[in-house]
Chain A
Amino acid sequence: MPVTFKIFRGSINHGTYHDYSIEAAEGMVVLDAILQIQAQQVNDLAVRWNCKAGHCGSCSAEVNGIPKLMCMCRLSELKTDAPILVQPLKSFPHIKDLVTDVSWNYRVKRKIKPFKPRPPDAEDGTWRMMQKDIDRVQEFRKCIECFLCQNVCHVLREHQKYDEFIGPRFLVHVAALEMHPLDTEDRIPELKKSHGIGYCNITKCCTTVCPENITITDNAIIPMKERVADRFYDPLKMFFRLFKNKSHVST
């Protein structure tokens, strides 16, 4: 069965959509089609991919407008009577064809305070942790850094708050560190200030697109918002803080 793909092609600042047709084979995913087009029709079609098994998070793109991993998106899920639209991620600077510059994400991660464990529990330098205490953090650590959540988050996509907001991926990262049973670091003040957690207004778009089915908003962001609220917006605590600060000034 012939299937047509409308693929965005071009370099920074200029580009258009081109149609390519291929013969669809059974079980094909969008990435197969893109690679086939690349091998048979346009050798210089730029696309990122690595594992083609949903483990590495490299082949993120927008398929018919929806952010997806191309390696896990089967043609059978899509309507093939009209051309399938394949575009690069919109929230990051474009490089070429389907490839965007995602280096901002790597810079953001370096701003987050690293893991700092408590002293070991046992003499051989190891720790004891119960499975039920790490289940939640293991969920967060499933993240494959495909940046689909960053791409779809309107704080970044619509409002370009790249300097004030770290995005859902890194809120999950902070949550994984904060909820890690061994960690002793405090990242709550940064969450409020430089990480900009207040910008998130819980539309859950990130959760919807996560290919690893991480419950980003409910399990990671909301608990972190609660910790920020507890620390900084508890009226009683605010009152005492005021008092404390004043006494501090008077002495």
Chain B
Amino acid sequence: MGMDEPFLGRLCRYICEDVFDRCVARLENYLMSSYDKYNYDVVVIGAGGAGLRAAIEASAQGVSVGLICKSLLGKAHTVMAEGGIAAALSNVDDRDNWKVHFADTMRGGQYLNNWRMAEIHAKEAPDRVKELEAWGALFDRTEEGKILQRNFGGHKYPRLAHVGDRTGLEMIRTLQDRSIYQNVEVHMECTIITLLKDGDRISGAFGYDRERGKFKLFAAKAVILATGGIGRAFRISSNSWEYTGDGHALGYNAGAELIDMEFVQFHPTGMVWPPSVAGILVTEGVRGEGGILLNSNAERFMFNDIPELYKNQTADNEEEGWRYTQGDKQARRPPELLTRDHVARCIVREIKAGRGSPHNGVYLDISWIKKKLSNADDHIRKKLPGMYHQFKKLADIDITKQPMEVGPTTHYAMGGMRVNADSQMSTVPGLFAAGECAAGLHGANRLGGNSLSDLLVFGKRAGEYAAIFAKENAAAAIDETQVSKAAELALMVFEREKGESPFDVHYALQETMQQLVGIVRTEGEMMQAAEQLKQLRLRAGNVRITGNREFNPGWHTALDLRNMITVSQAVIMAALERKESRGAHFRDDYPQKDPESGKFNLVIKKDADDNMIMRKEMRNEIREDLKKIIEEMK
């Protein structure tokens, strides 16, 4: 065999194998557009914090639940959350309460938030955190043995319940270990490609199992989307490969409305060097523990630009800032702990002005605290073990001795499915959304720590109300034509003999979004991006897949691409329309905040001809008592 065989023999074998493989692949596709069918009352798509919490709640209400994860259970993006869960437990500072948390969230979101969601969130977050403890989570403790809370950007008082810098892991593991003893059936490594509808109402979801490539159909009375964000549409991103805007696109294609899509959060501190780790998150906890930002002149540049909205709350000298991080209740917070949108822009400005670090970032220094603390090295390693390990291992930097180099990284989508504040139901009956793929709570900019609490508070509500919906409604009908159409579309890529690699198209998309729709935006660049996106859509429709359906990342990327392009289109459309700078959305051509633009949200949906349309929706008047709280806290 092998080299001993004559040339012609080898050639024949080669040709035959090729033809044979193709025939088998076709036959396989033909046979396998069949599917396995599952019936549930509630199907939850996504198994991060929101999805798991929703599944636990729905099952506690006595309905049958199917939980679908794109990866293995417990690996969802929540696992990467580092800093903590924001909840006004007032364990560290007794001046804290839900009202302060509410006002902080609204201020952080530049008052574009859905105020009812912000109210529910601030009121219910403490109970959700305590519940985690009852389920076995072990948060770091105060000296009296209560849950310890730390400082974070935009939060007036120390508010983040945490476990070192691995809070997300603690949270997802606690929820995971709770869910496995409940009546929740888990489908690991399964990707949903379309939602199914019966008239206006949701009737189920259809997708494929990644390992074998077989189709699965989930009939459901209610569906909860908890798929997370869209960060993989950008080149520099802290997000895992799963974050391809699946839920956003699934909901949009099923007729749900998207809102606030122009607001994409760039976390100020991602790693910048070496290139292979660019974008990996450096927790805000570093600054919460006293870390400072420096430019190449060793200047603490954050003191140079403190926004009006935060003047009263921000320290005006370094000493006061340090005292704040050490728990001095009289001190105001250092400017490094301003909101993420602002810190990210300040960093970009330093880099553009030529005061950046060698690898196009700035310096984040925690090692300086050895001037203040005798046991600084141990303190840093204890408080930030993950960061210590990450820099040591990946960048050869010892953060107890040297500054880190950091720069902004795509982190979070404030925009998403428009949902009812109380029930989390979208504009499609029976379709719910929770967590990052839902929108409203964070407005124009999310505060650190408000994401984990968002997942818990609204994950629970989505589960609760989806269960109620499932109990009140009979099963909907499955439309086979929707199923076969989706299956056909998904398999089309295998038929093509020629075409480019889906990875090349993905990289091109990331480059477009990164360069033209990033932290600083202009009309010209975004128009250019919109043009490029049209080309990218064509290219994405013509990619070619090698291999078969078994665990084939090329195929998965080809399918994910469609979602990323839809989501990118929505981001560009809304970002062009908002002609002002507010929160995470910064327009170089409209650098000021415009009071008129603060009166509406942008809503995007698909019209009857499959076109993306947008409208301005005027915000409803905030409730009197909540308005008063905001006034009092100013």
Q: A residues engaging B (CB < 8 A)?
A: 11, 25-29, 32, 38-40, 42-58, 72, 74, 95-97, 99, 101-103, 106, 109-110, 114-115, 117, 120, 124-131, 134, 137-138, 141-145, 177, 180, 182-183
Chain B residues, Cβ within 8 Å of A97: 551
Chain A nearest CB from B449 CB (Å) reads: 17
Chain A residues, Cβ within 8 Å of B240: 50-52, 56
Whole-angstrom distance between the alpha carbons of A126 and B386 in the complex?
A: 28
Contact (A39, B134) CB under 8 Å given A54-B390, A115-B177, A130-B145: no
What number of B residues sit within 8 Å (CB to CB) of A? 67
Interface bits B233-277 vs A (CB < 8 Å: 1, else 0): 000000011100000000000000000000000000000011111
Residue B327, interface by CB 8 Å: no
- Contacts A/B (CB < 8 Å), 11 sampled: A27-B273, A42-B546, A44-B555, A48-B72, A53-B280, A72-B393, A109-B180, A110-B181, A114-B178, A128-B144, A138-B138
Chain A residues, Cβ within 8 Å of B394: 27, 29, 72, 74
Contact (A114, B181) CB under 8 Å given A44-B545, A50-B242, A51-B77: yes
Chain B nearest CB from A82 CB (Å) reads: 22
Contact (A46, B553) CB under 8 Å given A27-B394, A29-B394, A53-B80: yes
Contact (A50, B241) CB under 8 Å given A43-B553, A56-B80, A130-B145: yes
Residue B73, interface by CB 8 Å: yes
Contact (A38, B503) CB under 8 Å given A95-B211, A110-B180, A115-B177: yes
B141 touches A129 (CB 8 A): yes
Interface bits B595-614 vs A (CB < 8 Å: 1, else 0): 00000000000000000000
Residue B153, interface by CB 8 Å: no
A53 touches B276 (CB 8 A): no
Of B177, B273, B546, which one neighbours A109 at CB under 8 angstroms? B177
A56 touches B79 (CB 8 A): yes
Whole-angstrom distance between the alpha carbons of A177 and B164 in the complex?
A: 20
Stretch at the interface among B166-174, B304-312, B410-418, B527-535: B166-174
Chain B residues, Cβ within 8 Å of A58: 71-72, 75
B165-205 residues with Cβ-Cβ distance < 8 A to A are 166, 168-170, 173, 177-178, 180-181, 186, 188
Whole-angstrom distance between the alpha carbons of A130 and B393 in the complex?
A: 31
Chain A nearest CB from B106 CB (Å) reads: 27
| 10 nearest A-B residue pairs (beta carbon) | A27-B274, A44-B547, A43-B554, A128-B145, A39-B503, A115-B136, A46-B551, A50-B240, A131-B141, A32-B276
In this complex, what residue of B is CB-closest to A116? B136
A26 touches B553 (CB 8 A): no
B177 touches A43 (CB 8 A): no
Whole-angstrom distance between the alpha carbons of A95 and B209 in the complex?
A: 13
Chain B nearest CB from A60 CB (Å) reads: 11
In this complex, what residue of B is CB-closest to A33? B276
B281 touches A53 (CB 8 A): yes
Residue B146, interface by CB 8 Å: yes
Chain A residues, Cβ within 8 Å of B147: 126
Chain A residues, Cβ within 8 Å of B351: none
B133 touches A145 (CB 8 A): no
| Given A44-B548, A106-B180, 13 further pairs, Cβ under 8 A | A27-B273, A27-B275, A27-B277, A40-B503, A53-B277, A55-B168, A58-B72, A74-B393, A106-B73, A126-B130, A130-B141, A134-B141, A145-B74
B503 touches A44 (CB 8 A): no
Chain A residues, Cβ within 8 Å of B138: 129, 134, 137-138, 141, 180
A141 touches B170 (CB 8 A): yes
Contact (A141, B503) CB under 8 Å given A47-B553, A50-B240: no
Contact (A52, B75) CB under 8 Å given A43-B502, A46-B551, A128-B145: no
Whole-angstrom distance between the alpha carbons of A207 and B181 in the complex?
A: 29
Chain B residues, Cβ within 8 Å of A120: 134
In this complex, what residue of A is CB-closest to B79? A56
Interface bits B461-489 vs A (CB < 8 Å: 1, else 0): 00000000000000000000000000000
